[in-house]
Structure formats: C-alpha cells, structure tokens
Amino acid sequence: MKYNADVFITDPPVIFYLPPMPAIREMFDQIHKRYDLLNHLMSASRDFAWRKACCKRLPKKENAVVLDLCGGTGDFSIAYKKNNGEPKLSMVGDFAGKMLNAAAKKDLSLKLIQMDATQVPLVANSVDIILNGFGMRNIRDLDTAFSEAFRVLKHGGYFATLEFFKPERTFPKLFYKKIAPLVIPFAGMVLSKHNAYRYLVLSILSFITPKEYAAKARNAGFTLRCIKALDGGLAHIVICEKK
C-alpha cells in the first residue's frame, strides 16, 4: 500500500508498516535509549556540525515535504528545521519503532513512519527532500534503496546523504582501522551494554567509498551535485538531484 505524503498531516503520528530485517532493527531498538548520547560522545559532538553542513548545502525550498530516511531519533529532521526553515511536512522513516518513539519525544510535529527504506510506503514524485544520516551503510540492498528514494522524490528533489564511508585517506584510515576498533566498541559496551558498536566500526570498514556510492546513485537515475569530505574525511556529505 502506498500513501500520499499529504495524509500524514492529519493522520496519527505513528504508522506501522512491514518491519523486515530483524537483526539490524532489533539492534537499533535495543540501543535507542543511549543512541543520542553515544552519537554525540563518539563524534565529540561533531555530528551536530555535520548535519548542519549538510542542510546548508541543500537548496532552500518553500513548503518542502521532507523525508528523513533511516531517521532514527530524528536529529537530522530537527537540524533541517533549524537551518532550512519549517517544512510543510517533516516525516521520519525508520524500521526501528523504539528509535522513532525517541524522535516523537523530541518533536511532536514529526510524522513517524515505521518502514523499510527498500519499500518506502509513499507514492511516486511526492517528496522534495530526502535526508539520510548514517543509515545507508546498514542497508544490504542499496540499489533498491536508491531506486525507492528516486521513485518517491519529485523532479527537482534532492537526496542528501551524511555517512561514514569506507576510509580512503590516511587520517580516516588510521582512525577507523586502528583507533576506533579499540575505543568505540569499548565505550559502547560500557554505556549502552550492547555490542552494537563493534558492528558500527565493522560496517564502516566494509562499506563502499563516496565515489562508489555516487556511482550507485547515478545508476538509479540521480545527478550528483556534491561530494564533501568533513573533518579530514571522517564523514562525507553526498548530495544528488532527481532532475
């Protein structure tokens, strides 16, 4: 079933929709309480600046319909509002219901959709901006996620990714291969009592590079607008347009 984005203006805030991929979903559900804290601690609060930098690179759109794909606890949607103005509709889509509940506690105006990024329950050409913060790395079928993003975006719509890609330069290679495997799983285990943070490091090292990601976006029909390395390549912004 596909919804028109406009229904979320009046509908109840949480719409439950087919939750697949149980292992990753359960992992995020289990860490939802400490997710934000660990995010800020492990990035030395740089995640705020990274989201802001990404939002600033998007064109200003009046009355935008925004989908925060893999939006988790909603921080990217909140950054978008602060930096780009109030959208007409701000949807957070994620398959982990507990992450979405944490988003609801922060901002009641967010419309939450429990959904899989490879089966977006929205009609075609209905969204102006898709945000994706640290989500695509967790999706096994990236090509389908790209084609779903392309399908639901309007022509002239933008898909903005903020992600930890497979490191290419010396500094991020050193960080993700030598320092992060020692520090991040340990801090994660102490603070969230969960081994998800071992997965975090492995998922970065086994992901693709920004250029490979951009090639996948192009294959789905997107036009690349920018690739920007942040903090020496620890994170990257990739912005694409559906022309």
Ligand X SMILES: C[S@@+](CC[C@H](N)C(=O)[O-])C[C@H]1O[C@@H](n2cnc3c(N)ncnc32)[C@H](O)[C@@H]1O
Minimum gap (Å) between residue 170 Cβ and ligand X: 25
Q: Bridge-partner residues for 47, per DSSP? A: none
Is 78 near ligand X (CB under 6 A)? no
Q: Which is nearer to ligand X, 68 or 128 (CB)?
A: 68
CB of 61 to ligand X, least distance (A): 20
User: Which tokens hold the place of 104?
Assistant: 């609801």
Q: Under the criterion CB under 6 A, does residue 72 sit at the interface with ligand X?
A: yes
Nearer to ligand X, 75 or 128 (CB): 75
**Smaller CB distance to ligand X: residue 26 or 241?**
26
Position 70 contacts ligand X (CB under 6 A):
yes
163 binds ligand X (CB under 6 A): no
Under the binding rule (CB under 6 A), the answer on residue 49 touching ligand X is no
Between 172 and 243, whose beta carbon lies closer to ligand X? 172
> What is the signed CA dihedral for 52, 200, 187, 37, rounded to 10 degrees?
30
Sheet holding 14-16, edge to edge: 14-16, 111-114, 89-94, 65-69, 127-133, 153-163, 235-242, 223-230
Rounded to a whole number of angstroms, the minimum distance from the CB of residue 117 to ligand X is 4
Q: Is 188 in the site for ligand X (CB under 6 A)?
A: no
Encode 16-34: b = buried (16+ Cβ within 10 Å), e = exposed: ebebebeebbebbbbbbeb
Q: Which is nearer to ligand X, 27 or 226 (CB)?
A: 27
115 Rama class: left (phi>0) / alpha (psi -120 to 50) / beta: beta
Q: Which stretch binds ligand X (CB under 6 A): 18-26, 170-178, 207-215, 219-227?
A: 18-26
Q: Tell me which of 3, 53, 55, 94 binds ligand X, using CB under 6 A.
A: 94
Site string (106-135) toward ligand X, x via CB under 6 A: ----------xxx--------------xxx
CB atoms within 10 A of CB 206: 9
Chain contacts with ligand X (rule: CB under 6 A) = 21, 24-25, 28, 39, 70-72, 75-76, 94-96, 99, 116-118, 133-135, 138-139
